[in-house]
Structures are given as structure tokens and as C-alpha cells.
Amino acid sequence: MKKINIYFTAGAPQLDDTGKIAKIIQDSGADMMEIGIPYSDPVADGPIIQDAHLLALKNGMTITKLFEQLLEIKNSVTIPKVLMGYINPVLQFGFEKFCRKCQEVGVSGLIIPDLPAFEFEKQYGKILEKYSINFSFLVTPETSEERIKYLDSLSSGFLYAVSSSSTTGNANATLKNVDYLSRLASLNLKNPVYVGFGIKNKQDFDSVTENLQGGIIGTAFVKVLLENKNWESEASNFVKSILS
């Protein structure tokens, strides 16, 4: 079975929707979720997720608030929860304190796109290991085979394969880069490979997971949350439509 990982930004549409959205993702049949920590300059993200970040910050979302919300759902939402964020807010919070809190509230992994592998090896990897937190590095179509293997060796949980060299939700993204996805499948990597950026529907999901282990859906799901008054039922239907 191919794994489906659904991304949303904590604190949007409303500050206290985090638990509700997490529950919907779980109850709709997703295998795991990725929760975005709002940041004023999310460089890897396209306009829709940027809007969600700005809305969440305007709503008053903070890392402290997010940990409180995650603690509330620790026992009711049991599929893996991965936090995705940028390094600056995490360092401001305190890296080790952040990892300790992740462990306390039931977060199983982290994705920090702007944390360099060199820094990870030198300093941060040991702290993550201490608190049993997985870490996923990102690879792109331009990443060399040697570097893919290196980043895979540092990663745990899964390796995040960016489908194309663009921001999330880019309509012009070359989603099915056959050579790249086949190359990843042939490398006999340690971690399962999940493909993200540009997956909008079941057809896209099936296409990118032909030879790889999972897909990550972010922008299309966040769009449902931001653009529908009745987003609860719409969000549930969206996840189910990918799995149907």
C-alpha cells in the first residue's frame, strides 16, 4: 500500500482548528500528517501555503501554542505526526527544548528544509536521536546520486523527494519526472521515498507513487481548508478521493 501524507498549516483557517483538522485527516484514512509551523518567510512554499502561514500568524499561532494543541490530541490522533518548519523559529525556541517537547506531545518526525546537512551531522542529529525524533531531508531532480544516498543515510522515517524544482503548489511543476522518480526507485535507499510538491488529485498520487512508497499532498488540501466555509466535510471528502 502506498502511504499518503497530508500537510496543513497549524492555526489556519482558525487558531484552534489544528486538532479538528488532524482528526479529520486521521479519520479519512491518511497514513500520516505533516503539520506546518507558521513562518513569515516560508521560502519553499507557494502562494497558497504562504497565505495559510500569514493567516495563522495573524490568528496568533506560536510554537508554544502548537505544542499545547498537540498535547490535547496526543491520545486521540495516533497516526504519525511530523512537524515541518524553518530553522530560525526552532532555534529561537531552543533546538533541544523543541525536540523534548516534540517527544512529549507525540510528534514522530521533523522536516526543516533550510537546516544544512553539515550542521545536522555536526550538531543537531544527536539531539534528535536522543529524543527519538525522525528527520527527513529533501532531494530534488538536480540532486546528484551521491548526495541522494548521503541525505538518505542521514534521514530517518522517510526521504522527501521534491517532484520538481519549484515551490509547493506550482501549477507548472513537472510532476511526473519519470527519469528522476525511476532513478530514486533504483537506488535501493534505506528510507521509503515520499514524493511531494504538485500532487493535486488521485491521478497525480497514483502516478508519482508507481515505483515509490508514498505521496505528500499539501497545497491542494490547504486550498480546501481556506476556500470552503464547510471545510470539515470538504477536507474529509478530499482525502477520501485520493484513497478511493
Q: Which of 16, 27, 41, 45 is catalytic?
A: 45
Q: Which of 16, 27, 31, 34 is catalytic?
A: 34
* 206 has catalytic annotation: no
Number of Cβ within 10 Å of residue 130's Cβ equals 12
* 34 has catalytic annotation: yes
Report the alpha-carbon distance of residue 231 to residue 8 in Å, rounded.
Answer: 13
**Which residues are tagged catalytic?**
34, 45
